[in-house]
Amino acid sequence: MSSPRCSFPLGNGRFIQVKEWQGELRVDIREWEGDVPTKKGISLNLMQFKNFLNGMSSAIEPVMKNKRAEQDEKFHLGAGVYITVTKDNPCVDIRKYWMNPPHQDESLPMKKGICLRPTEYDTLMKSCCKIEDLLPELKDEIPCYMNEDHQNQQGMLRCKMCNPDDYKNWL
């Protein structure tokens, strides 16, 4: 296992880390017990992390500044991972969703993810600025929805990142 490129504490035994895993750079937001990472958390590839940064500034940050949402907010990071803030709960939930059974109308949250308290979220946002500086590869990362093949609905439906539960039906 490689050592992390950078690691920042968020509080309450939670950390954000950039490390290489199976030959790919990943950004982990995870809870730790002592020196051991737990299953509670989420691992994002660079495109998901770039979408995370875009989503936080455009969709989630205004809600967190008001400390109350008028409606539930949900932002897709790619590959079935979403950021959500509900109007009844001021926490930011970063979680994997999936369709079960197939072809149902709405995806369901899985255990894989982490819910950040407002103070942890604030610390995370401060850490993200530092991570952007330490991660030059992020500048070259282009979200899939900006590619030429996403200029129509069929391109989005065929994309594994945009449509993870149903993309094979459109190939």
pLDDT tens for each residue of 134-148: 999 988 888 877 778
Asked, for residue 23, whether it belongs to a domain, the answer is: yes
Report helix, strand or coil for 121.
Answer: helix
Give residue 131's pLDDT band: very low, low, confident or very high (50, 70, 90).
very high
CATH number of the domain within which 112 lies:
2.30.31.10
What's the CA gap between 77 and 143, in Å, rounded?
10
SS3 75: strand
Start-to-end CA span in the chain (Å): 36
SS3 readout for 38-68: EEEEEEEEHHHHHHHHHHHHHHHHHHHHHCC
DSSP code for 152: S
Tell me how many domains the chain contains: 1
Q: What pLDDT digit, counting tens, does each position of 55-106 carry?
A: 777 667 766 666 555 778 888 899 899 998 887 777 899 999 887 766 677 7
Backbone angles phi, psi at 52, to 5 degrees: -60, -50
**1 in any annotated domain:** no
pLDDT tens digits along 110-123:
899 999 998 999 99
| Residue 105: per-residue pLDDT | 73
State which residues form the domain around 85. 6-170
Task: Tell me how far apart the alpha carbons of residues 43 and 80 are, in angstroms, rounded to a whole number.
Answer: 12
pLDDT at residue 119 in the model: 92
Per-residue pLDDT at 32 exceeds 60: yes
Query: Could you tell me if residue 67 is inside a domain?
Result: yes
Which pair of tokens denotes residue 8?
A: 């920042």
Residue 171 has pLDDT above 70, yes or no: no
Residue 98: CB atoms within 10 Å: 13
- Residue pair 50/138 in contact (Cβ under 8 Å)? The answer is yes
User: Which of helix, strand or coil describes residue 51?
Assistant: helix
